[in-house]
Structure 1
Amino acid sequence: MSPQPRVVAELGRPETPQETADRKAESRRKHFANQTTFNLVIALIASLAVVLFLVIVVVRPDQQSAREPVDYAAAAADVQDQADAHLVVPALGEDWSANRADYSAPKGKPAVWRIGFITPGDQYIGLTQGIGADDGWVSDRLDDHNPTGSVKIDGVAWTVYDRRDADNPGNLAYSLAATVGGSRLVLSGSATPAEFRELATAALADAAASSPATTAPTGDAG
């Protein structure tokens, strides 16, 4: 005697063959759907892990190296004998740091000494010294922007280029330019005018220590 078909509680009667087939098909569909969702979650987690790895291994070291302090005084000493003038090495407090220092002497052009400073306010000021440079060289450094004023710092006239209200001025948001001895000094960056003044004062003091005549007022530079 064959067993009686199982009564399904929801139906109150045994399933028909078609209902049994439909139930099994729905069960398989749900199983595959759950498995697909699980696989998608695993794939998403794996993708996020790869992105996190790239951020830690690739991005962060680059950012840290950009802020890694540079001994600009030692860099200047290494190349001073190649220059025809004293390379300016401002003495600043411990809350200042440098992230670059390099010297270049392209043929037929002024030799250039550069230092990139991170200020106490965590902003940037680049010091660029053009040895034997002229007004055209200064204009090139400042993308031909027009001066907006002038200021005297320790008896030396500096031309001011204030572009802080411009759209995306970058590291030319504020600039100072002056003639010091046989060099042009250009300070440019995103720091406050007070921090620019502090750096300019230190640069002039270093120039004076190397040769007192270099700090005689020379008028506006630009």
Structure 2
Amino acid sequence: MSAQKAPRVVAELGRPETYEETAARKAEQSRKYRANKTINNLWLSLIVCVGVVIVIVLLVPRNDSSQLASVDYRSVATSAQAALPVPLAVPDLPSNWSANAAEIRTGIDKTPAWYIGLITPVNTFLGLSQGVNGTDNWLADQVHNTIASGTTTIAGVQWTIYDNRTATRDVGNVNYALTTQSGASTYVLFGNASDGDFRTVATALAANVEAQPATAMVAK
């Protein structure tokens, strides 16, 4: 008969382990192994999830165009004309321009205004407001209470410039604006479009600006 193997002496104890201590040690080792395996699996799952997200972001096509539906502002103007006593501004722009809004709005001092939200070919914004009998308060509100910085003449029409591109305070959508007044109409062009795009719209408005009546009575 072979000799029975002597119990292992544990250095920390200075004596052999008891049966209960051996069982407890093995149970603890098993628990740590399972815990480490669980953590490793969690990390692996996280890496896989991140990889899937990256693939989705890279593969899903993105559209940088305006998320609002395109609006036929010419047709809307035809319907809205009866509501205002002045010729509504309907700029004839190249086909690569679009609009995401066209409507009559009521502003400060109950000023009625024809509004078009234009989207330029490079997806910048240029708003047009044509106020009827607009007050000084209405105009100040349209340019976000900013200060005029100069004037320019475009297609024979003199416009006042509001250049807020370097402003340190919030100026809303009025990064840049042009305003002019003709008869009963006050025009405000505003947005983050380029100078060239502002000139394009201002040029397209010249005939309408010249056609405005000296006075207009707005129905109450």
Quickly name the TM-score band, shorter chain normalised.
0.7 to 0.9
Q: Distance in 1 between matches of 2:213 and 2:205?
A: 10
Q: Distance in 2 between matches of 1:107 and 1:136?
A: 7
Sort the Cα spacing of 1:20 and 1:213 in 2 relative to 1 into closer, same or farther, 3 A. Answer: closer
The within-5 A match list for 1:9-24 is 16=17, 17=19, 18-24=21-27
The alpha carbon displacement at 1:115 in A equals 0.8
Match of 2:123 in 1: 122
Equivalent residue for 1:204, pick from 185, 198, 206: 206
- Residue identity in the other structure for 1:164: R
Match of 1:57 in 2: none
Sort the Cα spacing of 1:65 and 1:149 in 2 relative to 1 into closer, same or farther, 3 A. Answer: closer
Sort the Cα spacing of 1:179 and 1:106 in 2 relative to 1 into closer, same or farther, 3 A. Answer: closer
Q: Distance in 2 between matches of 1:143 and 1:111?
A: 18
Sort the Cα spacing of 1:65 and 1:173 in 2 relative to 1 into closer, same or farther, 3 A. Answer: closer
1:32 correspondence with 2:56: no
The alpha carbon displacement at 1:40 in A equals 7.5
The within-5 A match list for 1:57-96 is 66-96=67-97
8 Å contact from structure 1 (residues 128, 186) kept in 2:
yes
Q: Distance in 1 between matches of 2:39 and 2:26?
A: 20
Give TM-score scaled by structure 1 length: 0.72
Equivalent residue for 2:212, pick from 211, 214, 218: 214
Measured against aligned partners, the alpha-carbon deviations of 1:20-61 in whole angstroms (never above 9, x if no partner) come to 5313311122213433564587689889999xx9xxxxxx99
RMSD of Structure 2 on Structure 1 (CA): 3.9
- Aligned identity (percent) is 33
> Which segment drifts farther, 161-170 or 68-77?
161-170
Match of 1:11 in 2: none
- For structure 1, the 5+ residue unaligned runs are 9-14, 54-59, 217-222
Q: Distance in 2 between matches of 1:215 and 1:157?
A: 17
Q: Distance in 1 between matches of 2:48 and 2:88?
A: 54
Sort the Cα spacing of 1:90 and 1:6 in 2 relative to 1 into closer, same or farther, 3 A. Answer: farther
The secondary structure found in structure 2 opposite 1:147 is coil
Q: Distance in 2 between matches of 1:183 and 1:115?
A: 15
- For structure 2, the 5+ residue unaligned runs are 9-15, 57-61, 215-220
- Residue identity in the other structure for 1:77: T
- Residue identity in the other structure for 2:70: P
Sort the Cα spacing of 1:108 and 1:21 in 2 relative to 1 into closer, same or farther, 3 A. Answer: closer
The within-5 A match list for 1:168-183 is 169-183=171-185
Measured against aligned partners, the alpha-carbon deviations of 1:59-115 in whole angstroms (never above 9, x if no partner) come to x99x87634311111121222111121211111112211111111347962211111
Sort the Cα spacing of 1:138 and 1:2 in 2 relative to 1 into closer, same or farther, 3 A. Answer: farther
Give TM-score scaled by structure 2 length: 0.72
8 Å contact from structure 1 (residues 147, 161) kept in 2:
yes
Number of matched residues?
198
